[in-house]
Amino acid sequence: MRLNEFSYCVSQSLVLVPYEAYHVTRYHQWMLQPDILEATASEPLSLEEEFEMQRSWRNSDDKLTFIVLHRDTLESAMGSKVPASNKESALLPWQRQPAAELAAMIGDVNSFSIPNIDEDNQDNEEVVSEGREFELEVMIAEPAYRGRGLGREAVQCLIAYLSEALGAQPGQLLAKIGDDNLASQRLFTGPGLRFQLADRQPVFRQATYRCPREAAPSTPPGWAGVLTCSPLPAAAAACGLSA
């Protein structure tokens, strides 16, 4: 989504950045792993198809993707701190370093913006109500970073971004999770998110979990807000080489 083209988010342990072409090869390696394909209900793609998918996501009006970076690893690779306040990023927008980002990649987090359907329409037609809903997904692909609460922190960051940038409300948030994906079920229903089971889709072996309207998820620890980064040089955006 072009909306987050120059936006990034910082929390205590993570930095979320827009999905760029130089991330694709690493992302493709993740998506060849059988356990990740099963957990994400995905089919393997060729590298060329993965690049095309990245371009389509980047230009989409409905899909928002951030690559999840481990903050300490990123700052170590950069040799400097990531600007972590609106004042800092406004005075000097962050100059992203592709090589450092590749060293710090641990997963991704996504939102699909979908129409809010009126299911009570007597003519059985899809009627779009005011507002939209946001389907959330998260993947911590690097095994060394699983089981440390980083998936929850990444989802909290995405929700905080959707709230600040798009005005998303708790009742508009949902997640569709496979019946066998127990880790994601625990993540979304656990502390800090507290999504609730809304309905099951046995045919697809999945269920929909929703955030209660009256219970906003917790703000991620160390949340610095939606910040601004500088445009990448064309060569860096295309192949991951820093200028």
Handedness of CA 176, 180, 184, 185 (dihedral sign): positive
CB 138 within 8 A of CB 155: yes
Count of CB atoms within 10 A of residue 241's CB? Answer: 12
Contacting residues for 142 by C-beta, under 8 A, at least 6 apart: 105, 106, 107
pTM of the model: 0.88
Cα distance between residue 138 and residue 80, in whole Å: 27
pLDDT at 77: 97
* Distance (Å) of CA 214 to CA 136, 171, 210: 18, 8, 12
- Quickly state the pLDDT bin for 39 (edges 50, 70, 90): confident
Most confident of 23-37, 104-118, 216-230: 23-37
Note the pLDDT tens digit of each residue in 107-132: 999 999 987 655 454 443 333 334 68
Cα distance between residue 159 and residue 136, in whole Å: 9
Q: How far is CA 204 from the centre of its chain?
A: 23
pLDDT at 121: 45
How large is the greatest C-alpha to C-alpha distance in the chain, in angstroms?
61
Note the pLDDT tens digit of each residue in 57-106: 888 888 999 999 999 999 999 999 998 887 776 667 788 999 999 999 99
Note the pLDDT tens digit of each residue in 229-242: 888 765 455 554 43
pLDDT at 93: 74
Q: Which residue has the tokens 């990245």?
A: 54
pLDDT at 227 over 50: yes
| The residue type at 185 | Q
The domains found in the chain, sorted by start residue, are: 7-116+128-169+223-239 (3.40.630.30)
